């Protein structure tokens, strides 16, 4: 009997689900590591020092990567926030998921989001029966109050932050939601800007860790930084004042465009926002060590999609998409390939790099394996826990995306090193070989008709219909 068979038999006798290879015990503490997933908002593939950023510093996130594994080929669930987060929480790509776009209509006014249904199963719902305390702090985007998508109806014990993406555009809002209650922020009433909501969210994460240090917990931290609007307190923007040549952004009320606030120094604000987020990730990592739970906590960090251009942001100046083509709302890799680092002391080899092709919908099965619970059989995700532990990793046959917020439905498939993009259902298939053309500049569809035919078949058949997001052709 080998080790895996022995552990499976032993844990079966104990009434505990089989553990992934790499665990040494099926006791409660060893079998159930704490899981922290930190999600930035609109952070590009090149916006961290460990991925090539040079205009500002991210020492704590760089340390997270250096002390664990950095992924080079990891993908978001979508190229905008709500569907990306749906993929992360439910294990489905956007051809099968409930939320396939930023749904900004309905009975709840501006910023309402399409809610998850009772039958939609989240990571938190799967981990709670295994004894996990569950908390989400930041931007939810999967259901507002009084709907079936509110966090407490989707497996989370605790929530504080923004329920929808429209509200989350503003860092000095006059209210947030906390555990089903609307919390007034007195410091932001009547136009005052005294309570920076990112700081409130960051403090809640630390409090959650302290209160649940003696039990397994799942902490999901979808930060709002660095999404527009580009605002950050003086202690973060100050060091960058005068450092960059700036093009001011003016809000509509100041004669500009859009609803984001006026920012005279958008480059300085963006750099300061990312550094502030990095600081708060450092606070979390330091607290884990202080509480003595660092070795039993796996920390993951990523971004919900590629870099944005709103509110005066200049992703070209910062080279925010790094070596890949495109931005937020593109299905070229610049819109969907994102930084991803995972740290777990004593389990994941430090300073390791993975080229494993993976995506947000892989998180749910990975979390299930970490917690020792059964992985749902009908999802699109494939656990990447073997990759983290240095074992043989199952591969995806392909990854699929669709995006409905442009004039027609965009679709993309990655299969090995091949990447296909189609801008409308009856349109031509573009084909790129990412191993030699990471920038997706050389469309070689005419050279590989058999591969194009396979990609077209996937684009045509992978998805299921959706009442809100039917395929839109070019008009």
pLDDT of residue 104: 59
pLDDT of residue 106: 42
With a cut of 70, which residues of the chain have pLDDT below it?
Answer: 1-31, 104-112
pLDDT of residue 134: 98
Task: Report the mean per-residue pLDDT for the chain.
Answer: 92
User: How far, in Å, CA of 275 to CA of 460, rounded?
Assistant: 42
Strands 352-354 and 69-71: parallel
pLDDT of residue 259: 86
pLDDT of residue 14: 32
Secondary structure in 3-state letters for the chain: CCHHHHHHHHHHHHCCCCCCECECCCCHHHHCCEEEEEEECCCCCCCCHHHCCCCCCCHHHHHHHHCCEEECCEECCCCCHHHHHHHHHHCCCCCCCCCCCCCCCCCCCCCCCCCCCCCCCCHHHHHHHHCCEEEEEEECCCCCCCCCCCHHHCCCCEEEEECCCCHHHCCCCCEEEECCEEEECHHHHHHCCCCCHHHHHHHHHHHHHHHCCCCCEEEEEECCCCCCCCCCCHHHHHHHCCCCCCCCECCHHHCCCCCCCCECCHHHHHHHHHHHHHHHHHHHHHHHHHCCCHHHEEEEEEECCCCCCHHHCCHHHHCCCCCCCCCCCCCCHHHHECCEEEECCCCCCCCEEECCCEEHHHHHHHHHHHHCCCCCCCCCCCCCHHHHHCCCCCCCCCEEEEECCCCCCEEEEEECCEEEEECCCCCCCEEEECCCCCCCCCCCHHHCHHHHHHHHHHHHHCCCCCCCCCCCCCC
pLDDT of residue 455: 98
pLDDT of residue 239: 98
pLDDT of residue 112: 62
Contact 368, 85 (CB under 8 A): no
Compute the residue count for the chain: 475
pLDDT of residue 475: 83
pTM confidence score: 0.93
pLDDT of residue 76: 99
User: How far, in Å, CA of 276 to CA of 294, rounded?
Assistant: 22
């Amino acid at each position: 009997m080998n080790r895996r068979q022995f552990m499976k038999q032993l844990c079966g006798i104990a009434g505990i689900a089989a553990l992934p290879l790499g665990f040494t015990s099926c006791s409660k503490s060893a079998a159930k590591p704490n899981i922290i997933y930190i999600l930035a908002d609109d952070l590009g593939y090149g916006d961290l020092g460990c991925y090539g950023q040079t205009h500002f510093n991210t020492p704590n996130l760089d340390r997270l990567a250096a002390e664990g594994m950095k992924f080079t080929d990891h993908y978001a669930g979508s190229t905008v926030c709500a569907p990306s987060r749906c993929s992360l929480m439910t294990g489905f790509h956007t051809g099968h998921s409930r939320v396939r776009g930023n749904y900004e209509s309905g009975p709840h006014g501006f910023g309402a989001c399409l809610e998850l249904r009772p039958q939609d199963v989240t990571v938190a719902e799967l981990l709670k029966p295994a004894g996990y305390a569950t908390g989400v702090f930041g931007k939810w985007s999967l259901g507002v109050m009084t709907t079936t998508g509110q966090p407490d109806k989707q497996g989370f014990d605790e929530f504080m932050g923004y329920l929808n993406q429209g509200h989350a555009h503003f860092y000095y809002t006059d209210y947030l939601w906390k555990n089903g209650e609307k919390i007034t922020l007195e410091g932001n009433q009547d136009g005052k800007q005294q309570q920076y909501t990112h700081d409130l969210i960051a403090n809640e994460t630390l409090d959650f860790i302290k209160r649940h240090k003696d039990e397994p917990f799942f902490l999901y931290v979808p930060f709002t930084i660095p999404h527009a609007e580009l605002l950050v307190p003086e202690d973060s923007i100050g060091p960058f004042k005068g450092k960059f040549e700036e093009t001011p952004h003016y809000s509509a009320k100041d004669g500009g465009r859009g609803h984001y606030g006026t920012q005279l120094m958008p480059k300085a604000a963006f750099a300061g926002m990312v550094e502030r987020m990095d600081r708060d990730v450092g606070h979390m990592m330091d607290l884990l060590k202080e509480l003595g739970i660092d070795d039993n906590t796996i920390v993951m960090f990523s971004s919900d999609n590629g870099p944005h251009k709103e509110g005066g942001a200049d992703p070209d100046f910062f080279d925010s998409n790094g070596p890949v083509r495109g931005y937020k709302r593109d299905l070229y890799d610049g819109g969907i390939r994102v930084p991803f680092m995972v740290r777990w002391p004593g389990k994941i080899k430090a300073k390791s790099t993975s080229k494993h092709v993976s995506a947000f919908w892989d998180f749910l099965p990975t979390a299930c394996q970490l917690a020792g619970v059964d992985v749902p059989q009908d999802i699109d995700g494939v656990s990447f826990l073997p990759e983290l532990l240095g074992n043989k990793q199952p591969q995806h046959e392909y990854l699929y995306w669709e995006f409905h917020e442009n004039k027609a439905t965009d679709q993309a498939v990655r299969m090995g090193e091949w990447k296909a993009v189609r801008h409308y259902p009856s349109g031509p298939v573009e084909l790129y070989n990412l191993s030699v053309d990471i920038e997706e500049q050389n469309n070689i569809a005419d050279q590989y008709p058999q591969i194009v035919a396979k990609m077209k078949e996937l684009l045509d058949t992978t998805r299921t219909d959706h009442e809100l997001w039917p395929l839109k052709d070019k008009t």
